[in-house]
Amino acid sequence: MSEDWLTGPVLEQLNSGVLVVDEHLQLVYLNSFLQRHSSVQLSEVKGKSLFQVFTDVPEAWLRRKFASVLELQSPSFSSWEQRQYIIKLPHLRPVTSSSQYMAQNCTMLPLKDPAGRRYVCLLIEDATDAFVYQQHLQTTLEKLELSNRIDGLTQALNRRYWEDQLKLEVQRSQRYQQPLSLLLFDLDKFKQLNDQYGHLGGDSVLIELTARVRALLRDTDWFGRYGGEEFGIVLTNTALAGAIEVAERICLAVNSTAVTFHEQSIATSVSIGVAQLDAAGDRAHEVLIGQADIALYNAKREGRNRVVSFSEGETEFLLKAN
Amino acid sequence: MSTVFSEEQRDCLQELINVAMGLASDKLARFLNTFVHLQVPAIELVSSAQIPAQFEARYSNTEAALVSQGFLGNDGLRGEAIVLYQLDNAHRIAALLGYDTDSASELEMLTDISSILTTTFLNGLADQIDNSLSYSAPRVLSSRQTNVSQALQETAFHWELALKVDISYQLIDHSFNCDMLLLIPGEAVSNIQHILDRILEEY
């Protein structure tokens, strides 16, 4: 064929690696792409064992692959998704990729020369782009999952996610017979504060408040924004006395230091209702929220900036009053 | 376009497949260093719409793997080969191939096994009709969280005709069953019919 001259130049300029070994897995050929990427000269390595030249390839695995290609005379494949690379090579995207090495899609093909001798051709395609996109997708999905459960302004959990966690913790507490308590708290006179300092002032108080509260909690507690200026905290493995103690500390942390906004000091306080899980059944979490809410109402009524815990007697009274 | 094969064409295809299976089992036996007995595969031509229903029952109670590999030859021969097998079978043959679970992931074993089965068989088929095939990398369509019939439905959707080949390998100490599906697009079906007619004329 008169186009035979094509193969050489094309092979040399191909943007993929081409490597050929004989039946004894000794190197017969490397194209420029591979020589350049691995800083190896064909003239220096021709006839040497593949594993002597590329010392960090997975030898047992690759021997098995090559054996199947030679024996079965059928191709074999390797994808970057399962094995990121076969031969460690630098890639040409040093800035945009977090990975140090080229991700590779590899094909191992059976070859025979005119005399019938058998060879294996290893084709290495650069899949770093796909690898990078996959990683971007992964981090994006993680961020999305996070933003799906937190409140944008305060970074506390959003109501939906927080309520889900409350339900789960209530079930866990019932199953393992561990105490569980709930705090519901509300920023006192928030409407007045908004009127006086504007909504930005109100927002900055909410942000500062959440930060102070979070500093007082354990990793196992669930802190969420329940409504506008209302928050909830699920205290796992905590009985009423412990919950009241935490609530008192929160009250103090909020009230003891004013929030600074545009060089103005804004004095704030919170009212907190506390209840311990007592009810059984599927709607136990709703009963618990109801009880903490009643205690919170009482804290407001008794003059704000205080902690009130729920007790059975008051329910009756309040429910009637409502 | 007619996707109906004449009786002669069908017999011819069955014969080609029998021989291809024989060649494949011979190669596999040498490679695995064990005797491979192979039953004569039953072939069936079905419209691809029927495919999910046909396999749902067999794979509904077990964890199954579904691996796809595209093939492309001369004379307009092309399609997609799908190998279906049960995962506990996969682990048996993986051990035979010399895999230990430390050095290769399950997905890697699945693709390797099905690629070996597919390419040895199809190469044998291609040899007999003076064709040669190239293959795309194998891709796992589903494993573990399996809904086999749904995965099949999504895949079969693109194809007009399916050639169902029921393969059953019997190794000395192991038995291994799998199903192979060759999904073939409409224009390739008539190309195959031409190839078959050509072979029939030569005899």
Under 8 Å between Cβ of A267 and A211: no
Taking CA atoms, what residue in A is nearest to B115? A76
Cβ within 8 Å, pair B107-A82:
yes
For B20, other C-beta atoms within 10 Å of its C-beta total 22
Q: Which residue has the tokens 């003239």?
A: A43
Helix (H/G/I), strand (E/B), else coil: A98: coil
**pLDDT at residue A266 above 80?**
yes
- Residue type for position A216: L
What whole-number distance in Å separates Cα of residue A116 and Cα of residue A125? 27
Tell whether B149 is within 8 A of chain A (Cβ): no
- Residue type for position B66: L
Hey, what long-range contacts does A193-197 have (CB within 8 A, 24 or more apart)?
A: A193/A266, A193/A268, A197/A261, A197/A264, A197/A266
Tell whether B48 is within 8 A of chain A (Cβ): no
Cβ within 8 Å, pair B116-A72:
yes
Cβ within 8 Å, pair B108-A74:
no
Under 8 Å between Cβ of B153 and B181: no
Taking CA atoms, what residue in A is nearest to B109? A82
* Average pLDDT of the segment spanning A220-248: 95
Under 8 Å between Cβ of B127 and B65: no
pLDDT of B174: 66
**pLDDT at residue B20 above 70?**
yes
| Facing residue for A75 by CB, picked from B98, B108, B135 | B135
What stretch of H or E contains A77?
strand A76-78
Rg of chain B's alpha carbons, rounded to an integer? Answer: 16
Cβ within 8 Å, pair B97-A64:
yes
- Which residues 6+ apart lie within 8 Å of A208 measured at CB? A259
**pLDDT at residue A1 above 80?**
no
Tell whether A76 is within 8 A of chain B (Cβ): yes
Instruction: Please name the fold of domain A4-135.
Output: Beta-Lactamase (3.30.450)
Domain boundaries, chain A: 4-135, 149-321
Q: Does domain A149-321 have CATH number 3.30.70.260?
A: no
pLDDT of B29: 83
Domain boundaries, chain B: 7-202
The per-residue b/e assignment along B116-148, b for 16 or more CB within 10 angstroms, e otherwise, is bbbbbbbbbbbbebeeebebebbbbbbbeebbb
Taking CA atoms, what residue in A is nearest to B99? A61
pLDDT of A94: 62
The distance of B108 to chain A (nearest Cα, Å) reads: 6
The secondary structure of A226-243, three-state, reads CCCCEEEEEEECCCHHHH
| Higher local confidence (pLDDT), B185 or A265 | A265
Cβ within 8 Å, pair B111-A75:
no
pLDDT of B166: 73
May I ask the CATH architecture of the domain B7-202?
Answer: 3-Layer(aba) Sandwich (3.40)
Nearest residue to A184 (alpha-carbon basis) of A242, A250, A134: A250
At B102-160, the pLDDT tens digits run 556 777 888 888 898 899 999 999 999 999 999 999 988 877 655 677 777 777 666 77
Residues paired with B38 in a beta bridge: B169
Taking CA atoms, what residue in A is nearest to B138? A77
A77 contacts on B by Cβ (under 8 Å): 111, 115, 135, 137-138
At A59-115, the pLDDT tens digits run 988 998 999 999 989 999 999 988 889 999 887 776 666 677 899 999 999 999 999
Q: Which residue has the tokens 């008192």?
A: A248
What whole-number distance in Å separates Cα of residue A178 and Cα of residue A172? 8
Cβ within 8 Å, pair B116-A67:
no
| Higher local confidence (pLDDT), B72 or B203 | B72
- Which residues 6+ apart lie within 8 Å of B95 measured at CB? none
The distance of A105 to chain B (nearest Cα, Å) reads: 9
The distance of A12 to chain B (nearest Cα, Å) reads: 22
Rounded to two decimals, the ipTM of the complex is 0.80
| Facing residue for A75 by CB, picked from B99, B108, B119 | B119
pLDDT of A318: 52
pLDDT of A97: 62
Banded pLDDT at B1 (limits 50, 70, 90): very low
Tell whether A75 is within 8 A of chain B (Cβ): yes
Between chain A and chain B, how many beta carbons pairs sit less than 8 Å apart?
Answer: 53
**pLDDT at residue A290 above 50?**
yes
Give the whole-number percent of chain A exceeding pLDDT 90: 75
What whole-number distance in Å separates Cα of residue A234 and Cα of residue A253? 19
> % helix / strand / coil in chain B, to the nearest 5?
50, 25, 25
The secondary structure of A99-153, three-state, reads CCECCEEEEEEEEECCCCCEEEEEEEEECHHHHHHHHHHHHHHHHHHHHCCECCC
Tell me the pairing of strands A259-261 and A222-225: unpaired
Residues paired with A21 in a beta bridge: A27, A120
B116 contacts on A by Cβ (under 8 Å): 68, 72, 74, 76
A107 contacts on B by Cβ (under 8 Å): 137
Exposure on the CB side of residue A155, measured as CA atoms within 13 A: 9
B134 contacts on A by Cβ (under 8 Å): 75
Exposure on the CB side of residue A182, measured as CA atoms within 13 A: 31
For A33, other C-beta atoms within 10 Å of its C-beta total 20
For chain B, how far is it from start to end, CA to CA, in angstroms?
27
What whole-number distance in Å separates Cα of residue B57 and Cα of residue B31? 33
pLDDT of A243: 96
Helix (H/G/I), strand (E/B), else coil: B83: strand
Cβ within 8 Å, pair A72-B120:
yes
Averaged pLDDT of chain B: 80
A73 contacts on B by Cβ (under 8 Å): 27, 123
Tell whether A58 is within 8 A of chain B (Cβ): yes
The distance of B20 to chain A (nearest Cα, Å) reads: 13
Cβ within 8 Å, pair A64-B108:
no
Under 8 Å between Cβ of A27 and A11: no
Tell whether A112 is within 8 A of chain B (Cβ): no
